[in-house]
Amino acid sequence: MSDNYFIGVDLGGTNIVSALVTAEGKLLIRDRRPTHARKGKEFVLQQIKESIRTIFAESQLPAGKIVAIGIGSPGPLNTRTGVVISPSNLPGWYNVPLKEIIQREFSLPVYLDNDANAAAQGEKWLGAGWQVNDLVCLTLGTGVGGGIILGGKIFRGIDDTGGEIGHMILVPNGRRCNCGNMGCLEAYASATAIVERTYEFLQAGKNSSLQKAIARGGEFSASLIYEHALQGDTLSCQIMEETGRYLGIAIASLVNILNPEMVVICGGVSQAGEMIFRPLREEVKIRALQVPAERVKIVSGILGDNAGVIGAAYVALQGWREER
């Protein structure tokens, strides 16, 4: 097919991943480096530029072959103006005109989308959803990101803020969420929330093999809890099971509202597999209306931590095509 190349950039609070991708979706080169978000905005912008420069250099392509850059960034942001407003995990970022900055640096069109929308588009383009036009994608990480694809296209709402599935209300006066509200899905099912929920049980004196692991200096993370669940630790198993149920309740609502063909769960937590998916699917089966519940396939993403960068390249491809 075409002979054009696209660069995707997945800007995260921990890592920046860039990649060179063909119009057919072949990932040719990948660069991954720490964000060092705490060093501030200027430092992070340098990291992004450096990462993109590395892709250019390694590509050894003649000038003009790389035609656009797509960036998936933490929100809130404005895809039209290309301004990143104030992401909670990028300290010092307020109204950063990221699109303009990168455009000026590389003299190429730049397209911006939020990270969860980018991941959803990645899984739709080349991942779990490649045969599906109506899907909902949840990315479980520091927060819970959401992306909704309807009729093959990302759904944005009137102000570009649609798809915030992490801020569906799960328990009306439940756990405090980062957004200021109480009881959001994110306050129960993000990796951060999983650790917090576990911590509260440990504080309350609940017995668990996690105590020893943490005392030995192990990092207290969602994946540590998953490991201990695999080894049969009762508290860790309970936490994983409950996480699946929380997700299932929110997804049952989504299934009733959107009647999607597929729900894709991405992000590290989704790698816990059946330990989360079994209770999740059970809740959807019990709670959602029969026809949409029987229809929906609930699956794990298959692009792993490349979903964001591949989706960002797709954002570049789409934006570039639409403007031609």
Q: Which residues are near its own copies by CB under 8 A?
A: 76, 134, 146, 148, 150, 155-165, 167-172, 179, 181-182, 249-250, 252-254, 256-261, 286-289, 291-292, 295
How many C-beta atoms lie closer than 10 Å to residue 199's C-beta?
13
Residues β-bridged to residue 271: none
CB of 32 to its own copies, least distance (A): 30
Q: Which residues contact 211 (CB under 8 A, 6 or more apart)?
A: 202
Residue whose CB is less far from its own copies, 111 or 188: 188
CB of 221 to its own copies, least distance (A): 26
Residue whose CB is less far from its own copies, 179 or 214: 179
CB of 157 to its own copies, least distance (A): 2
Residue whose CB is less far from its own copies, 133 or 221: 133
Helix (H/G/I), strand (E/B), else coil: 270:
helix
CB of 310 to its own copies, least distance (A): 24
Residue whose CB is less far from its own copies, 168 or 229: 168
Q: Are 170 and 204 in contact (CB under 8 A)?
A: no
CB of 91 to its own copies, least distance (A): 20
Residue whose CB is less far from its own copies, 5 or 188: 188
Q: Please, what sign has the CA dihedral across residues 318, 168, 266, 116?
A: positive
Q: Which residues contact 191 (CB under 8 A, 6 or more apart)?
A: 140, 141, 142, 221, 222, 267, 268, 269
Q: Report, in angstroms and rounded to the nearest whole number, the Rg of the chain calculated over CA atoms.
A: 20
Please name the residue that has the structure tokens 């895809």. 79
